[in-house]
Chains A and B, each alone.
Chain A
Amino acid sequence: MKRSLFSILTILVLAGVILSACAPSAEPTEAPVAPAPTEAPAAQPTEPAEPVMTEKTVTIGFTSSLTGSQEVSSKRQVNGFNLWMNQVNEAGGIKLSDGTVVKIAAQTYDDESTKERVQELYTRLITEDNADFLISPYSSGLTAAASIIAEQNGKIMITAGAAEDDAYKTGNTSLFQLYTPGSLYLISTVDMLKTLDPEAKIALVHENDKFSTSVMDGLKPYLESQGFEVVMEEGYAGDTPDFGPVINKIVDSGATVLLGGGHYPDGSTLARQLYERKVGLKFISLLVAPADTKFPELGDAALGVATSSQWELAATHTPEEAAALGVEWYGPSGEDFATAYEAATGDKPTYHVAGGYMAGLILQKAIEDADSVDPEKVKAALEAMDIFTFYGGIKFDTTPEAHGLQISHVMVVAQWQKNEAGELVRKVIWPADVANAEPLYPIPAP
């Protein structure tokens, strides 16, 4: 009996050991890329007038969803951030006027796409890892959880991959939003529909999470103000596998255009099932999922599906645009960014990648403008920021009502179309002045 008990315990312990080796770990998932000493010995100055060269490492903390429902987009965001960090460190760091060279290190954990882990890990990033600045996790829901911790501890957090508006309207002063706010997410799409088919009947079918709901809250009044009829509105759980009953409702409503979606898993599932059931909608625009390079794995179900995109290489912003607007240009060109990213990962950059890169880039700009890594000075530089980059405009609301909300960045509409070789490619179809293809409208019948 004792022997069997011992055997059971041995099996359980072994299982635990294997599990702990395999399960997402609370240990840092990526070692800091630049593990340089925080205060390197300064070289002896030969002339008193020259600034003393010192090296300082700034730690940027964030969690990423290496597992769970946000994995696909979150990993892209981290890839973008890592590209920026490597470029800065390889270029010798950010140089300040007093001779300090700021190198960047990252401290990151897997949040498993859960809010509970996010709050626990951001607390750890601040209190144990002594992160100097924070980047948000991916998705509005996780960012809302992280923002509470950042705000409580007065840490600056650049929110990438989080479009929902509410977090900036509750008196927070440490958050700075990179994305176009959710309430404006589909405005460009509606403007396009107005020119293509002002009689379109709209179905709003969306994930019932914070982000997608905030997009719909902003969209519905705008649709109505533009004279569109919303014939159906329905939310669904993000892990819904079967959209059959929802699709039956869409057909029954007489809708000709579907606007909605949420994130990658549900959006790709919905697109596939709409195609399989030959619903025959004239236009489908889904949030997030069609912006990913995995989306064409759906095959012909991806054809014609559009998305609102924070950035597309085909419509990347240029110094000429910045000059025309009279705004300072900052950072690399979109082509240089895309080339560097493809060289580093072998993949084409999506807007999630650009978001991760930009989170680092605007922090770099703020440190340069502040000429310091002092959080208060960096915060003041962020509040004063008004720049144009390959990603577009960056300017933050500084009023107490919506502090940190992005007010300069605008979105484009992209759609999966087929090129001459019959391959699925994502084309920019709106605004007309940056489009590289005509909208595929109506979508060809399956």
Chain B
Amino acid sequence: MQQFNLLLASLPDGILLGFVYGLAAMGLTLIWGVMNVINLSHGPIIALGMFGTFFLVTRMGLSPYAGLIPVAVIGLLIGILIYTVAVHRVINAPHLSSLLATFSVNMIIIGLGTAALTTSPYNVDFSAGSIKLGSTTLLGTRLIAALVSMLFTGGLYLFLYRTRPGKFIRAVANNRSAAELMGIPSTRILALSFGLGTMLAAVSGALIATFFPFSILAGGSYELKSFVIGVLGGLGNPIGALFGGLILGVIESSSQAFLESSWVPVIEFGLFVIILLVRPSGLFGAKK
């Protein structure tokens, strides 16, 4: 009974966190879905989003939520830059080439970040209140982060299905050669897709910074979660990523009602292996 109460108390937190995890994973899976590139610079981009919030809040006095707009724009531009400089030339090469290219970007960002920001933990001293619900406390920052994640997911869905560039992205994802024959500028669409992926990563980082401390190395763990979520939701399926995030969030919180927190990675990556073995297309289907 005690464990059941703990489970009930922990579930809301897990669900709220799951939305943010899902948003982070959506960026990774979008890039994979459109161009078959595993973006290993995903973690540092999340960390840059965290620092974006930190500097906008502490140096410019902005609300972290108003700061999401510049973080999103800068995230988009950084993604386009990374695509242009490091990914475009290897987009048709074997996967290992793009993997190494994005890994190099990962190491460059971490190296520069370490030199400029050190690896000390940073903290955004911000509170959005809390709501007491029985034995659990819902933090305002997590509630808002979940809402913002849902908004971004909805926005992404509308962009992909209701706008011309979004349709271009889907066309390029389905068949790049055919899309090019139809006059779609695939290079620009690929750069835009990569930018959107990094934008989602940066925004998720900016939201995480409102409730967790962070350092330039902090993105690594969220990148790993994004891989697990990507596989859960189906690689290349951005909307599936949101559900994958929710599942991971719930597993994380509920498992800690019964086990110590150090068991969480064991469960997460155990699940990762099982899904790969049993249902490699993910629970919600991979890119068709």
Binding site for B on A (CB under 8 A): 4, 7-8, 11-12, 15-16, 18-19, 21-24, 66-69, 71-72, 208, 234-237, 239-242, 244-246, 248-249, 251-252, 264-265, 268-269, 272, 276-278, 294, 297-299
Provided the pairs A19-B104, A237-B262 are in contact, do residues A24 and B257 lie with their beta carbons within 8 angstroms? no
Q: List 8 A-B contacts (CB under 8 A).
A: A12-B101, A15-B86, A18-B112, A22-B112, A22-B114, A242-B212, A248-B136, A269-B213
Q: Is the CB of B123 within 8 A of A268?
A: yes
Provided the pairs A71-B119, A236-B261, A277-B137 are in contact, do residues A246 and B256 lie with their beta carbons within 8 angstroms? yes
Provided the pairs A11-B89, A245-B261 are in contact, do residues A72 and B104 lie with their beta carbons within 8 angstroms? no
Q: Is the CB of B118 within 8 A of A71?
A: yes
Q: Is the CB of A68 within 8 A of B119?
A: yes
Q: Is the CB of B114 within 8 A of A11?
A: no
Residue of A nearest to B252 (CB): A242
Cβ of B198 within 8 Å of any chain A Cβ, yes or no, is no
Complex Cα distance, B212 from A333, in Å, reads: 40
Which residues does chain B contribute within 8 Å of A277, judged by CB atoms?
130, 137, 139
Which residues does chain B contribute within 8 Å of A69, judged by CB atoms?
119
Q: Is the CB of A234 within 8 A of B260?
A: yes
Q: Is the CB of B139 within 8 A of A276?
A: yes
**Smallest Cβ distance from A232 to chain B, in angstroms?**
11
Complex Cα distance, B94 from A133, in Å, reads: 51
Q: Is the CB of A298 within 8 A of B139?
A: no
**Smallest Cβ distance from A213 to chain B, in angstroms?**
12
Provided the pairs A18-B111, A240-B261 are in contact, do residues A245 and B130 lie with their beta carbons within 8 angstroms? no
Task: Give residues 120-145 of B contacting A (CB, 8 Å).
Answer: 120-121, 123, 125, 127, 130, 132, 135-137, 139
* Further 18 A-B residue pairs, CB within 8 A, beyond A15-B108, A248-B136: A12-B101, A19-B107, A21-B111, A23-B107, A23-B111, A67-B119, A69-B119, A72-B121, A237-B261, A240-B261, A245-B10, A246-B261, A248-B6, A252-B2, A252-B5, A268-B213, A298-B123, A299-B125
Complex Cα distance, B5 from A18, in Å, reads: 52
Residue of B nearest to A113 (CB): B119
Complex Cα distance, B118 from A11, in Å, reads: 26
Cβ of B181 within 8 Å of any chain A Cβ, yes or no, is no
B contact patch SS? helix
Q: Is the CB of B86 within 8 A of A245?
A: no
Q: Is the CB of A245 within 8 A of B213?
A: no
Cβ of B97 within 8 Å of any chain A Cβ, yes or no, is yes
Residue of A nearest to B115 (CB): A22
Which residues does chain A contribute within 8 Å of B90, judged by CB atoms?
8
Residue of B nearest to A248 (CB): B9
Which residues does chain B contribute within 8 Å of A276, judged by CB atoms?
127, 130, 137, 139, 211
**Smallest Cβ distance from B169 to chain A, in angstroms?**
25
Which residues does chain A contribute within 8 Å of B97, judged by CB atoms?
8
Which among B17, B100, B123 has the greatest number of chain A C-beta atoms within 10 A?
B123
Task: Give residues 91-115 of B contacting A (CB, 8 Å).
Answer: 93, 97, 100-101, 104-105, 107-108, 110-112, 114-115
Complex Cα distance, B145 from A242, in Å, reads: 15
Complex Cα distance, B230 from A128, in Å, reads: 47
Residue of A nearest to B136 (CB): A248
**Smallest Cβ distance from A347 to chain B, in angstroms?**
14
Cβ of B221 within 8 Å of any chain A Cβ, yes or no, is yes
Which residues does chain B contribute within 8 Å of A71, judged by CB atoms?
118-120
Cβ of B85 within 8 Å of any chain A Cβ, yes or no, is yes
Complex Cα distance, B264 from A251, in Å, reads: 21
Complex Cα distance, B211 from A241, in Å, reads: 9
Contact of B89 among A7, A68, A241 (CB under 8 A): A7
Contact of B6 among A7, A66, A245 (CB under 8 A): A245
Which residues does chain B contribute within 8 Å of A19, judged by CB atoms?
104, 107-108, 111
Which residues does chain B contribute within 8 Å of A241, judged by CB atoms?
212-213, 218, 221
Provided the pairs A269-B212, A294-B120 are in contact, do residues A278 and B137 lie with their beta carbons within 8 angstroms? yes
Complex Cα distance, B100 from A242, in Å, reads: 31
**Smallest Cβ distance from B9 to chain A, in angstroms?**
4
Which residues does chain B contribute within 8 Å of A248, judged by CB atoms?
6, 9-10, 135-136, 257
Contact of A11 among B9, B85, B137 (CB under 8 A): B85
Complex Cα distance, B108 from A18, in Å, reads: 7
**Smallest Cβ distance from B5 to chain A, in angstroms?**
6
Which residues does chain B contribute within 8 Å of A297, judged by CB atoms?
123, 125
Cβ of B253 within 8 Å of any chain A Cβ, yes or no, is yes
**Smallest Cβ distance from B103 to chain A, in angstroms?**
9
**Closest 5 A-B residue pairs measured CB to CB?**
A22-B111, A245-B256, A15-B104, A244-B13, A248-B9
**Smallest Cβ distance from B130 to chain A, in angstroms?**
7
Q: Is the CB of A272 within 8 A of B118?
A: no
Q: Is the CB of A11 within 8 A of B260?
A: no
Complex Cα distance, B209 from A269, in Å, reads: 12
Task: Give residues 43-80 of B contacting A (CB, 8 Å).
Answer: none
Which residues does chain A contribute within 8 Å of B111, judged by CB atoms?
18-19, 21-23
Task: Give residues 206-224 of B contacting A (CB, 8 Å).
Answer: 211-213, 215, 217-218, 221
Complex Cα distance, B107 from A382, in Å, reads: 44
Residue of B nearest to A15 (CB): B104
Contact of B108 among A22, A208, A236, A240 (CB under 8 A): A22
Complex Cα distance, B123 from A299, in Å, reads: 10
Which residues does chain B contribute within 8 Å of A245, judged by CB atoms?
6, 10, 13, 253, 256-257, 261
Provided the pairs A11-B101, A67-B119 are in contact, do residues A235 and B262 lie with their beta carbons within 8 angstroms? yes
Which residues does chain A contribute within 8 Å of B114, judged by CB atoms?
22-24, 67
Contact of A265 among B104, B137, B213 (CB under 8 A): B213
Residue of A nearest to B141 (CB): A276
Complex Cα distance, B17 from A297, in Å, reads: 24
